[in-house]
Structure 1
Amino acid sequence: MITLDAIEIQKIIPHRYPMLLVDRILELEPMKRAVGVKNITMNELQFLGHFPGEPIMPGVLLIEAMAQVGGVAMLYPEENRGKIAVFGKIDNVRFRRQVVPGDQVITTTEVVKIRGNMGVIHCEGKVDGQVACECDCTFAIMDPKNS
């Protein structure tokens, strides 16, 4: 089983601080599935305003964090290195609990379908074994515009 730390993740997906939202990949089967970790810490910029005195991880950032785990699975193969995975659509989103500083989100992504450069991944993020969020992300694998 392939595992990756934050430095290795940055060799695969283009995200950087403050938008790199996956800290470690625990399991990776390229083009099939990935399990990743996002540690939620109070010093993240979004908690300055969401919400003062009662910090909650914004749902859109939670979805982005989960999608980045799937992006690692899709961009890991050598033929996809240097490319980007961009959202086409997000379906079946369910938020089941709040995510707050101190939580650790364990995301499991499964590739549901691939056709050409398009695909669908199912994402499920859990905190302490409870589902916090799940969704289906449609994406396209593309060359960056500046290449």
Structure 2
Amino acid sequence: MNNIDITKILPHRFPFLLVDKVLDFKEGEWLKAIKNVTYNDYFFVGHFPERPIMPGVLIIEAMAQSAGIFLFLSYGKDKSDKEYIAYLAGVNNVKFRKPVIPGDQIVLEVKLKQTVRNIYKFDAICKVDDNIVADGEITIALGGKE
């Protein structure tokens, strides 16, 4: 699934679309995606000009967007044909282990661990060159697109 396919699922657009490609997916279980980090990303202008580092909150957002794609691919629409949108509802125990810099490719892995009604909890891991750069739990709530 490429960037154009992703824009058919997520409401995010440049410069806030933080998932470039879906690499693999298992319905109801997990998703693996990538974010290509380039020096041209808007946030490097101020974070930090002399030593560019991707902000942690944007890494979390990339995790959340990956989870949103997973939910759409796994569950789509409910039986009433009402459309839903995924909202970031919680972040727990996220650790940033190494900085993400221009030229890195983040592999985003989200695995569904718990579902209660319209709330979905995921274990998320971000890797660069097989090294964990961030990990934690992401909670997504599905709400109506009205």
Amino-acid identity (%): 37
Structure 1: which 4+ aligned runs deviate by more than 3 Å? none
1:97 partner SS: coil
- Aligned partner letter, 2:60: I
Report the TM-score, using the length of structure 1 for normalisation: 0.92
Gap change, CA 1:40 and 1:138, over 3 Å in 2: same
Structure 1 contact 12–82 (Cα < 8 Å) conserved: no
Q: Give the alignment partner of residue 5 of structure 2, picking from 4, 8, 21.
A: 8
Q: How far off is 1:49 after superposition?
A: 0.2
**C-alpha separation in 2, matches of 1:7 and 1:64:** 19
Gap change, CA 1:56 and 1:30, over 3 Å in 2: same
Question: Which residue in 2 is equivalent to 1:74?
Answer: 71
Q: How far off is 1:31 after superposition?
A: 3.0
1:112-131 to 2 correspondences below 5 Å: 112-131=113-132
Q: How far off is 1:82 after superposition?
A: 4.3
Report the TM-score, using the length of structure 2 for normalisation: 0.92
Q: How far off is 1:30 after superposition?
A: 3.0
Gap change, CA 1:92 and 1:85, over 3 Å in 2: same
Structure 1 contact 126–133 (Cα < 8 Å) conserved: yes
**C-alpha separation in 1, matches of 2:10 and 2:84:** 8
Question: Which residue in 2 is equivalent to 1:21?
Answer: 18
Aligned residues: 142
Question: Which residue in 2 is equivalent to 1:102?
Answer: 103
- Aligned partner letter, 2:36: N
**C-alpha separation in 2, matches of 1:59 and 1:50:** 11
- Aligned partner letter, 1:70: A
**C-alpha separation in 1, matches of 2:90 and 2:84:** 19
Structure 1 contact 33–111 (Cα < 8 Å) conserved: yes
Task: Select between 75-84 and 48-57 the one with higher mean Cα deviation.
Answer: 75-84
Question: Which residue in 2 is equivalent to 1:58?
Answer: 55
**C-alpha separation in 2, matches of 1:64 and 1:116:** 22
Q: How far off is 1:65 after superposition?
A: 0.7
- Aligned partner letter, 1:126: K
**C-alpha separation in 2, matches of 1:57 and 1:25:** 20
2:77 partner SS: helix
**Unaligned residue ranges in structure 1 (runs of 5+):** none
Task: Select between 73-82 and 28-37 the one with higher mean Cα deviation.
Answer: 73-82
Structure 1 contact 57–100 (Cα < 8 Å) conserved: yes
